[in-house]
Amino acid sequence: MNAHDEDRIKELLQQALPRIDTDTDADAEPDRDLWTAMLRRLSGQSGGEHASLPWFDWALLAGLAAFAVFYPVTIPVFLYYL
């Protein structure tokens, strides 16, 4: 990597990452209260009902079951990784 590439990477990183203001107090409060958002998110999930799995998870599970049926020797390997 030459100096031009390093300068370009440095420029891109400076654009992507915001500058940290060192003049502010380290104990500054966040812009908004995050705890209320967390409580709202937790209250949306009741403990009794289970979240539904996306179709892709079901497809992977079906593929895994089919693979285990055709190659039963691999079942201990699957159980090891669970």
User: In the numeric block, which tokens belong to residue 21?
Assistant: 């203001």
- Average pLDDT over the chain reads 81
Answer yes or no: is pLDDT of 45 > 80.
no
User: Cα–Cα distance between 28 and 61 in angstroms, integer?
Assistant: 47
| Residue 18 dihedral angles phi and psi, to the nearest 5° | -70, 150
- Within 10 angstroms of residue 1's Cβ, the number of other Cβ atoms is 7
* Prediction pTM value: 0.37
Answer yes or no: is pLDDT of 21 > 60.
yes
Please give the pLDDT value at position 63.
93
Answer yes or no: is pLDDT of 82 > 60.
yes
User: Which has the higher per-residue pLDDT, 38 or 51?
Assistant: 38
Please give the pLDDT value at position 19.
75
